[in-house]
Amino acid sequence: MADPIDIDAELAGFEERMAKAVRHTEDEFATVRTGRAQAALLDGIVVEYYGERVPLRQLASVSTPDPHTLVVSPYDRAAMAAMERAIRDSDLGVNPTNDGSVIRIAVQPLTEERRKELVKVVRRRAEEGRVAIRSVRRQAKQHFESLQRQGSITTDDLEDVERQLDRLTARYVGELDRALEVKERDLLEV
């Protein structure tokens, strides 16, 4: 028989990966714009800066002086044109204005049609998150089945682990679904 395995520690590693999938999906939700200005809208923007691709948040601070305006204050004014171009070319559908010291972005209220499109986008991202969680579950199941074949865990241990994996999967898919509900409510709110 092989060395005994700490099943709880092994499960904890897979649980952490499921939690990361949920956090990643929630971060993806934050980049989808609602009718209100949020600094997180610019999180996915990457700027071409001296030949390197750098996240906008590393080159500037972002503030929201009112619910419909974002202000990007660059640390290096020489990068303003590149930042402005990256924001304009993004899929946010905004038109930044550069006054020489800061970049202002007016966040227009969303049309009903655009709201429905964005709901579809977040639902797709939620489904990708669910797929990632199920993928972690499948990998964990395969891992524990191989441990059982090696004799490191018993068949009863394997059945118990599979029940725990099912509960973890349901828990993290539920968390993701709740985050999706909140984001959909934000998007559909006029």
* pLDDT tens column, 141-152: 999 999 999 988
Q: Which residue has the tokens 């191989």?
A: 146
- Give the mean model confidence (pLDDT) for residues 169-182: 96
Reference 24, options 43, 52, 45, 37; nearest CA is: 43
**Can you give the pLDDT at residue 146?**
94
Q: Which residue has the tokens 């934000």?
A: 186
* pLDDT tens column, 2-19: 566 888 999 999 999 999
Mean pLDDT value across the chain: 90
The string of DSSP letters for 106-162 reads E-PPPPHHHHHHHHHHHHHHHHHHHHHHHHHHHHHHHHHHHHHHHTSS-HHHHHHHH
Residue 14: CB atoms within 10 Å: 21
pLDDT over 90 for what percent of the chain? 57
Reference 133, options 104, 165, 94; nearest CA is: 165
**Can you give the pLDDT at residue 1?**
45
The larger pLDDT score, comparing residue 32 to residue 84, is at 84
**Can you give the pLDDT at residue 3?**
60
The larger pLDDT score, comparing residue 134 to residue 187, is at 134
- Give the mean model confidence (pLDDT) for residues 47-55: 90
- Give the mean model confidence (pLDDT) for residues 184-190: 83
| pLDDT band at residue 190 using 50, 70 and 90 as cut-offs | low
**Can you give the pLDDT at residue 130?**
97
pTM of structure: 0.72
All domains of the chain in start order, with CATH = 7-30+111-188 (1.10.132.20), 39-106 (3.30.1360.40)
